[in-house]
A and B are shown apart, each in its own frame.
Chain A
Amino acid sequence: MDILLYGTTEISYLIASRLHQQHNITLLHDSEDLHEKFNNLDISIAEGGGGDIAILEQIEAGKAKLFIACSALDEANIVACWTIKKIADVETICFIAKPALFKNFSSSAHNQYQTRYDIDSIIWPEQLLTQDIFRIISVPDALDVEYLAGGKAKLFEYRIRSNSHIINKSLMECNFPADVLIAGITRDDKLFIPDGTTRIQAHDKVFFIGTGVALDSLASDFFRESSEVRTVSIIGGGSVGFMLADKLERRGIKVKLIEHDAERCEYLANSLKKTLVLQGDGTDLELLETEAIAAADVCVCITNNDEKNLLCSLLIKQLGSKRTITRVSNLQNYDLFARVGIDVVVSPKASALAEVLNRIQVHNVDIIALIEGGKGEVLRLTTPTTFKEVKLKEFKFPANAIIGVIVRGHRVLIPDGNTIICPGDRLKIFTMKEDSETIKELFFP
C-alpha cells in the first residue's frame, strides 16, 4: 500500500520504521532539518509543505491510499489533510495536540456543522493515553488490560508475586478456569508464547485472555488480594492528568492530583468537580507523605518529563504504593522503566502507534493491541470463505501464536484444543511482532 506521511516528528519516525518494510512510504517534510535516522529507513523523502498542491501532485500523492499528517503543528496537519482531499480521495489521519481542536472534530455535533471537516480520523495521542490508563485502572490488580471483541473478552496482564502458590507449576497443573487462556509470558524482559509444559516463575508477567466472568473468577482464585479501586493519586496535571481525573471522578473514584504550576492548579480546581487539587512538586517527599499519596490504590505519574516521572514513581513505590502507572515520552526509556520495577509503563506514542496500525487494514487483519511496547500483538482477522474447517489441536501454526478469542456471529468463544475453526470466524490471535506476517500469510496465502 502507498502511504504518504507528513511531518518529521518522533511519531512519524515510529510509524515509518514500523511500516517501511511492508508498505511504500513517502515522507513529506517542511524545509527544516531532517533527522539522520529517517535516512536509514527504506522510504522516499520529499521536501515541501503539506498544503502545497503542486508538491503533492509532483510526488503523485493521489496514488497513495492513506495520508497521515503528523507534523508538530495542528493547523498544518489539518490544512494538509484538506489539501490532499482536493486532489484525490485518500483516507486521511490527522494528528492533533490541542484539546479544543480535538473537540471540534470528535464531537457528535460535528455532522451538524455548516460544512464538514472532511478528515477521516483524528488522533490525539494524549487522549488515547488517557483511555489506556483509565482502562488499566478500572481493572484492579492487573498490570495491563485490553478489551477485545467490544469488551466481551479481555486481555489481562498479571505479575506473579513471589508468594503465589502457582509458582513452579506447569500451566497444565494450574487448573485455570475454563474460558481462560494464557497467551504469553514475559520473563526477564523477553516475551514468549508458552505451551502446557511451561512452568510459571516468580515475577513473570503473564497475559491471560478470557471472558469477563472467567477472568473475574481467575482474579478471585489466583490473585485474591485484588480489590476495587477507590482512590487514585495523579502526579502531573497536564491534558492527560485533567482528562483522567475527570473520567475517574465521574466513576465515583476519589482522586488526588498534584500539579506544580499555580495557575494550572487554579484551572484544574475550577474545572474538576470533586478532585482534590494539590499545588506542589511530585518529588516533594513531605507533600507525598502528608497527603498519603502512596496509600492510594493506584498512583499515576504523568508529567511531561520522563526523568521526573521515573523519580516520582520510585519515590512512591518506596512509600509503599500498590500499583504505579508511569508515562514515558521517549520510547527508548520504555524498557528501562519496566526494568527498575515500575508496574505499568505507558506512552502516548505507543498508544498512537497502535491506533495508526489499527487503521491500516491489510487483508482484513487488524492489530488491536500492542503488548509490551510493541513486542507482542493481538491480531484481528476473519477466516476466508475458502478456509477448511479444522479442529484447533490439529491446526499447526508455523510460528509462535495462539488463538485467544473466536467471535462467531454474536457468540464469543475462548477456544480449547477441541474447538473447530470455521470459515467466517473472526479470530483474535496473540502473536509476536516478528511472526505476525507469517500468521497473516497462513490465512491469506
Chain B
Amino acid sequence: MKLPLISSALSIVLLCFGTIILTPIAVACVEAEYSSIVPFVVASLAAVSLGLLCRWYGRRHRNFDLLRRNEGLLIVTLTWIICGVIGAVPYLFFGLGPVDAMFESVSGITTTGATILVDFSLYSKTFYFWRGLSQWLGGMGIIVLFVAILPQFGVAGRKIFFAEAPGPIEEKITPRITHTAKALWLVYLLLTCLEIIFLSLAGMPILDAICNSFATMAAGGFSPNPQSIMGYGSSAITWIVILFMLLAGSNFALQYRWFIKRYSKALLASEEFRFYLAIVLLFSSALFLVLYFSGPESAITSFRDGLFQIVSIITTTGFSSADFALWTIPAQTLLFTMMLIGGCAGSAGGGIKVVRVLFGFKFLKREIDQLVHPKAVLPIKIDRVTIHDEVQRQMLSFILFYLVLMVFSGLVVTMIEENAIIGFVGTAATIGNVGPGFGEIGPMGSFSHINGVSKILFTVDMLVGRLELIPFLAMLSPEFWHISRRR
C-alpha cells in the first residue's frame, strides 16, 4: 500500500468537496442569513488546505492506473470519513458538540437520517439546506460523483466505483465507467428536479421542497420540518413522496434504461424489482389491516400511512407520515422487518438489499429441494441467469456478516443504554441507513439523549452499512495494512 498515492487521491476528493461545501452560501445570501456564511467558508478552507497538504505529500503520484484493490478500498473508506468530518465542521458553529456534529454529518452523508436535533427552531435555513444537500451527495455515492465529474481517476475509477457499492452483480450500463457514473447522476438529478416541481405544485415552500426532495431521492430522511412529512399535513405531498421514495429504492441503472433509453420493460423485467414491489404490497396491506383494526384512523388514512411507512423504511429513507413510535407492537414489528431488507441493489437505499434477501430465500428453498432430490442439479437463478458459486458465497457471507455485526453492535449498545429497544432497533436503523427507530429514538424523538459511546458506535455502523461492509471487513485483516514506504 502506497501512502503517497492514497494521499494524492484523497487530495482530489478534498479539493472537490471543499468547493461543493460552498454551495449553501448561495442559500444563505438568498435567505439573507449572512451569519451562516462563515461556517461553510471555514469548512471549505479546512478542506482545501488539507487537500493541498495531501497533494504536496503525494506530489510524485499522479497516475492511478496501477491502483490496487486494497488501496481502492482504503481510498473509498477514507473519502467517506473525510467527507463526514468536513461536513461536520459547519455544525460546530451552530452549537453542536463534536460527537453530535460528527453523528449528524455522517448520518447525513450516509443517507441515514437519524438526527440528534431536538428543537428545530434554533437553526437557520442554510443549516437545513446543508443537511439535505449532504444527503443528496451521499445518495448516489460520493465516489460515483467524483468518477463522473473528475477525469483524473481514469482507469482507477472502475476499481473504486465498484469498491464503493459492491453490489452482488457488477453492473455497467455503458462500456466506460465515467459514462456510467454520469448516466446514473443524470437519472438521479432528473428525478430530484421532478420531485421538487411536484412538491412545489402541491403547495410546499420552495426551500422545503428542495430539502425534502434531496432527502427523498437519496433515501435519506432529513426533513427541515421537525415532524417530517407529517408536519405538512397534506395528503398530496404524502403520495408524491411515496412515489419518489419507491423510485429511490429501486435500481438506478434500470431506471436509466427505462427513462432515457425508453426500454419500457426494464424495471418489471427485473426479478429483484418485482420482488421489491411484492414485499411492499404484501407488508403494506398487512400494516393497513393492523392499523385499521387497532387504531382510530379511517381506512384511507390507514392505507396511506401504512404504505408510506413501509416504503419509507424498506427504501431506508426514514421519513414519517405518522408517529410510528406510538403504533402497536405488531405494526412496529412489520416495520422492523423492513429495516432488515433495504432497497434494491444499485439504488440509493441501504440495508441488506432486496436482491440478497431474494437470493437468501432461493438458497433456502434449494436446500429443501435438495433434501428431497439428493441427486438433482439445482442452480439458483435470478433473472433467469444462474448465480455462480463465488457470488453465492459472497452474498451468503454478506448476510451473515451483516447479522453478526448487527447483533454485536446491538448487544454493546444495549449494555451501555440498558435498553434493548435502543440497542437493537437503533443498530438496525443505523447500519441499515434507515434513520429513526422506535421509542425515544422514534421519528418524533432524537438520538441526542443517548450516551456518547453509543453515538460513536452508531456513527461507525452508519458508515459500515453505507459501504456495504466489504471495505470495513477488509480492514480487519492485518495484511490489509501492509504499508510500503518505497517511493
A383 at the B interface (CB under 8 A) = no
Chain B residues with CB under 8 A of A266? 377, 379
Tell me whether A277 and B384 are in contact (CB under 8 A): no
Assembly CA distance A269 to B381 (angstroms): 10
Q: Any chain B CB within 8 A of the CB of A273?
A: yes
- B386 x A277 contact (CB < 8 A): no
Q: How many A-B residue pairs have CB under 8 A?
A: 30
Compute how far the CA of A278 lies from the CA of B372 in the bound complex, rounded to whole angstroms.
12
Q: Does the CB pair B379–A278 fall under 8 Å?
A: no
Contacts of B379 in A (CB 8 A): 266, 269-270
Q: Is A268's CB under 8 angstroms from B375's CB?
A: no
What chain A residues lie within 8 Å of B265 (beta carbons)? none
Contact B381 A276 (CB under 8 A): no
A283 → B minimal CB distance (Å)? 14
Chain B residue numbers with a CB within 8 Å of A279 are 375-377
- Chain A hits for B377, CB < 8 A: 262, 265-266, 268-269, 277-279
B369: min CB distance to chain A, Å: 8
Interchain CB contact under 8 A, A291 and B375: yes
Q: Closest CB-CB distance, A286 to chain B, in whole Å?
A: 10
Contacting residues of chain A (357-407) with chain B, CB-CB under 8 angstroms: none
**Does the CB pair B376–A276 fall under 8 Å?**
yes
Tell me, in angstroms, the Cα distance from A279 to B375 when the chains sit together.
Answer: 6
Q: C-beta contact mask, A268-302 vs B, less than 8 Å → 1, else 0?
A: 11100100111110000001001100000000000
Most buried by A among B377, B381, B384: B377
Are B384 and A273 in contact, CB atoms less than 8 angstroms apart?
A: yes
The complex places the Cα of A30 from the Cα of B19 at a distance, in Å, of 77
Contacts of B384 in A (CB 8 A): 273
A82–B82 CA distance with the chains assembled, in angstroms: 69
Residues of B within 8 A of A268 (CB): 377
* CB of B392 to closest CB in A, whole Å: 14
Interchain CA distance A287-B373 in the complex, whole Å: 10
Q: Among B374, B376, B384, find the residue whose CB has the most chain A CB atoms closer than 10 A.
A: B376
Cα–Cα, bound, A266→B373 (Å): 16
Please give, as numbers and ranges, the residues of chain A lying within 8 Å of B194 by CB-CB distance.
none
Q: Which residues of A contact B375 (CB under 8 A)?
A: 278-280, 287, 291
- Whether, in the assembled complex, B278 has its beta carbon less than 8 Å from a beta carbon of chain A, the answer is no
B240 at the interface (CB under 8 A from A): no
0 or 1 for each of A400-432: is its CB under 8 Å from B? (1 = yes): 000000000000000000000000000000000
Choose from A270, A273, A291 the contact partner of B373 (Cβ within 8 Å). A291
State which residues 227-280 of A face B: CB under 8 Å: 262, 265-266, 268-270, 273, 276-280
Most buried by A among B373, B375, B381, B384: B375
Interface membership of B378, Cβ < 8 A: yes
Count of chain A residues with Cβ under 8 Å from any Cβ of B? 15
Say whether chain B's binding surface is mostly helix, strand, loop, or mixed. loop
Q: Chain A contacts of B374 at CB under 8 A? A: 290
| Shortest Cβ distance from residue A307 to the other chain B in the assembled complex, whole angstroms | 23
State in angstroms the CA–CA spacing of A287 and B374 once bound together: 10
Q: Report how far A265 CA is from B377 CA in the complex, Å.
A: 7
What mask results when residues 335 to 362 of chain A are scored 1 for a CB within 8 Å of chain B, else 0?
Answer: 0000000000000000000000000000
Contact with A along B366-403 (1 / 0, CB 8 A): 00000001111111010010100000000000000000
B378 cross-chain contacts in A, Cβ below 8 A: 269, 277
Query: Whose C-beta in chain B lies nearest to the C-beta of A258?
Result: B375
Q: Which residues of B contact A269 (CB under 8 A)?
A: 377-379, 386
| Most chain B beta carbons < 10 A, residue from A276, A280, A290 | A276
A-chain residues with CB within 8 Å of residue B386 when the two chains form the complex: 269-270
Closest CB of chain A to B384's CB: distance in Å?
7
Indicate if the CB atoms of B381 and A277 lie closer than 8 Å. no
Whole-angstrom distance between the Cβ of B385 and the nearest chain A Cβ: 8
Residue in chain A with minimal CB distance to B385: A270
Closest chain-B Cβ to A263's Cβ sits at a distance in Å of 10
Q: In the assembly, what is the distance between CA of A277 and CA of B379, in Å? A: 10
A265 cross-chain contacts in B, Cβ below 8 A: 377
The smallest beta-carbon distance between A242 and chain B, in angstroms, is 13
| B26 vs chain A, min Cβ distance (A) | 55
B455 to chain A, nearest CB (A): 49
Alpha-carbon distance A7/B137, docked complex (angstroms): 70
- A-facing residues in B71-98 (Cβ within 8 Å): none
- A291 to B376 alpha-carbon distance, docked (Å): 10
Nearest CB in chain A: distance from B316 CB, A: 33
A243→B377 CA distance, assembly (Å): 18
Contact A278 B373, beta carbon cutoff 8 Å: yes
Q: What residue in chain A is nearest B374 (Cβ atoms)?
A: A290
Please encode chain B, from 230 to 246, with 1 for each CB lying within 8 Å of some chain A CB and 0 for all others: 00000000000000000
Contact check, B376 vs A270: say whether CB atoms are below 8 A apart. no
- Complex: A280 Cα to B375 Cα, angstroms: 7
CB distance from B362 to the nearest CB of A (A): 14
Report how far A273 CA is from B378 CA in the complex, Å. Answer: 11
Complex Cα distance, B374 from A270, in Å, reads 18
What is the distance, in angstroms, from B84's C-beta to the closest C-beta of chain A?
44
Residues of B within 8 A of A270 (CB): 379, 381, 386
Give the CA-CA distance A231 to B71 in the complex, in Å.
56
- Tell me, in angstroms, the Cα distance from A291 to B369 when the chains sit together: 12
CB distance from B244 to the nearest CB of A (A): 35
Task: Please encode chain B, from 1 to 29, with 1 for each CB lying within 8 Å of some chain A CB and 0 for all others.
Answer: 00000000000000000000000000000
Nearest Cβ in chain B — how far from A199, in angstroms? 48
Complex Cα distance, B381 from A266, in Å, reads: 12
Query: What is the CB-to-nearest-CB distance from B171 to chain A, in angstroms, rounded to a whole number?
Result: 20
Can you pick out 16 interface pairs between chain A and chain B where the beta carbons lie within 8 Å of each other? A265-B377, A266-B377, A266-B379, A268-B377, A269-B377, A269-B378, A269-B386, A270-B381, A270-B386, A277-B376, A278-B373, A278-B375, A278-B376, A279-B376, A279-B377, A291-B373
10 closest residue pairs by CB, A with B: A265-B377, A269-B377, A270-B386, A277-B377, A269-B379, A278-B375, A280-B375, A278-B376, A279-B377, A270-B379
Residues of B with Cβ closer than 8 Å to A? 373-379, 381, 384, 386
Task: Using CB atoms and an 8 Å cutoff, list the residues of chain A in contact with chain B.
Answer: 262, 265-266, 268-270, 273, 276-280, 287, 290-291
New A-B pairs, 12, CB < 8 Å, besides A265-B377, A277-B376, A279-B375: A266-B379, A268-B377, A269-B378, A270-B381, A276-B373, A277-B377, A277-B378, A278-B376, A278-B377, A279-B376, A280-B375, A291-B373
